[in-house]
Structure 1
């Protein structure tokens, strides 16, 4: 069942992005029994099929992994680095794409449009190619050259837009409407969030409930997904509290924090100043007694150098959470001894210059 976040109207589980009232949608799935009773005997995302709105007769051939957690004592806290950059196409986006493609396959949709800063595009391009779905990808002209080259090699219809991330978003919508092609925005797609919530399940199984979750936050697909996963665990009676959520945003593109004058050039993955799920994210910050943090390029560059030196070859967007943690520890917002989840969201092998 799809439920509108604004008016509460319910729809059957079909592929749609918004309610007729304009509100965004969430998947609501009733699970009987305890969490452990519903786990499957797989060591990948299929372990959580009972919690996902998918048909087992229409599963993608590319399968997202259960990614490792590296726990390190850092600056007085226990940090859980979740290595999402080890997914098949190099980012956490594979989780959301997996559920999205399963839905598209079930409904027989064979041509779609997506706008992205890179990682979501790469993920959809790879999964769609394997599923026989044609893809039109809209990306900003400033997208890293490595990502653009990979998109070309995957055979997508690539539309490079000389404009801001929001202009790319609008161009994709206009193209989809003009051509009558299904638009699958990961910003709005309720099935995408169903995929990203599985990270919370993995963290819980491996390390319990963190005290704080720091998330690179632009459109909010990971931020909301992690909250939804931990919330479902709480609803099932598996846990009794939610972590404090910290939305980490790039300077100059803040939607939850006060907008900075200086714009980040490094955190391209979260350069999204007008996310459509802004109200949901605000509610999550209130519910979890969380906060918004904004970081700039100098902090991001320092954090990514540290991560690379420790063997975490990630892209700059991933480094925003470490930069935020250092500042939160310095001002005492995260107490000593806390358990802190830092998802490392995208591979740096697509971008190793200009930092």
Structure 2
């Protein structure tokens, strides 16, 4: 069932974005046996028993199980999760996979989505073999490489003059006016069901991390990781949750104090007013977590280091490394800690040099 995060009202598992009270929704199910419920696949279908999609509605494209790379950074074991190696080049494929499966189940063949690039690319790629027509709203400031890929994938592009919040509003207006289904990954509870599988994979690959550092704008990966580890705790697999660290772009912070200097390199998390803000605050409180802001110069430094390590990511991914350096320096992450750093988007989609 779906449960409202604000008032607690429940709904059947149909495609729905909000509660009648305006609150956001999460899928709520009981799971009992983690390892006993795994399926014999080497891709995301391994976790189908934990996902709200039926076996008859599996999208033709399936996200991969991505590798981890452990590196020692100043006495801390940094576990880089290479989710930029997904088919469309970002972790968004996980949420898209579950979303498209739900749309197939309900026979929805035309939808509206807004995105800074990665969610749009993911949805365009996965909707194409599923026969779903996708109207994608993007800002004129979207990275040219991503726009070019969207055009080649057959998406119907709608350009908006404004920031991410303006694009979001225009997409909602268009969907309502045209009578189409709006599939915002910011609001979509099924998207978070997909991103929670990162936690499942990490637990199978390296066990439970002490800290989880997440690039955080709308919170789809931040909340997905929390939900995945929370379900593992409820199944008795782990006894506590990792400490969650929300890493945000300076000038666009929603959880940290807002800076006056904007980090426009980390465009994937340039979301100052996310609709799931209260949920993210509750996660920080529950896990004794914290928020770290990263500026443009710090992002460039981390991006350069990652390239030298052979990790070709886009700037938004690099903010977690910069945050780790800061937290090691201040002693907030002590020596010997195991820290998860998801790398969320591929640098191969960038056409300009950074």
Structure 2-normalised TM-score? 0.99
Q: Match of 1:148, SS?
A: helix
1:354 offset after TM fit, Å?
4.1
Mapped to 2, the partners of 1:243 and 1:4 lie a distance apart of 24
Q: Match of 1:249, SS?
A: strand
Name 2:5's counterpart in structure 1. 5
Q: Match of 2:293, SS?
A: strand
Q: Which runs of 5+ in 1 are unaligned?
A: none
Name 1:281's counterpart in structure 2. 280
Mapped to 1, the partners of 2:264 and 2:2 lie a distance apart of 37
Q: Where in structure 1 do 4 or more consecutive aligned residues deviate above 4 Å?
A: none
Give the 5 Å matches for 1:51-130.
51-130=50-129
Name 1:174's counterpart in structure 2. 173
Name 2:224's counterpart in structure 1. 225
Mapped to 1, the partners of 2:233 and 2:283 lie a distance apart of 14
Name 2:14's counterpart in structure 1. 14
Name 2:266's counterpart in structure 1. 267
Residue by residue over 1:286-313, the C-alpha shift from the partner in whole angstroms, topping out at 9 and shown as x without a partner, is 0000000000000000000000111100
Mapped to 2, the partners of 1:96 and 1:238 lie a distance apart of 24
Is residue 38 of structure 2 the alignment partner of residue 39 of structure 1? yes
Mapped to 2, the partners of 1:160 and 1:252 lie a distance apart of 23
Q: Retained in 1: the 8 A contact 2:4–2:24?
A: yes
Is residue 239 of structure 2 the alignment partner of residue 254 of structure 1? no
Mapped to 2, the partners of 1:310 and 1:161 lie a distance apart of 37
Q: Retained in 1: the 8 A contact 2:145–2:351?
A: no
Q: Match of 1:152, SS?
A: helix
Residue by residue over 1:250-282, the C-alpha shift from the partner in whole angstroms, topping out at 9 and shown as x without a partner, is 000000000000011100000000000000000
Mapped to 2, the partners of 1:354 and 1:284 lie a distance apart of 36
Name 1:163's counterpart in structure 2. 162
Query: Which of 226-235 and 157-166 deviates more?
Result: 157-166
1:352 offset after TM fit, Å?
4.9
Name 1:143's counterpart in structure 2. 142
Residue by residue over 1:58-114, the C-alpha shift from the partner in whole angstroms, topping out at 9 and shown as x without a partner, is 100111000000011112100100000000000000000000000000000000000
Residue by residue over 1:282-340, the C-alpha shift from the partner in whole angstroms, topping out at 9 and shown as x without a partner, is 00000000000000000000000000111100000000000000011111110011000
Q: Retained in 1: the 8 A contact 2:31–2:231?
A: no
Name 1:23's counterpart in structure 2. 23
Mapped to 1, the partners of 2:31 and 2:243 lie a distance apart of 25
Q: Match of 1:40, SS?
A: coil
Residue by residue over 1:131-178, the C-alpha shift from the partner in whole angstroms, topping out at 9 and shown as x without a partner, is 000000001111110000000001111011110110000000000000
State the superposition RMSD in angstroms. Answer: 0.6
Name 1:190's counterpart in structure 2. 189
Structure 1-normalised TM-score? 0.99
Q: Retained in 1: the 8 A contact 2:144–2:351?
A: no
Q: Match of 1:16, SS?
A: coil
- The 3 A distance-change label for structure 1 pair 228 and 194 is same
Mapped to 1, the partners of 2:267 and 2:231 lie a distance apart of 30
Q: Retained in 1: the 8 A contact 2:216–2:269?
A: yes
- Matched length: 354
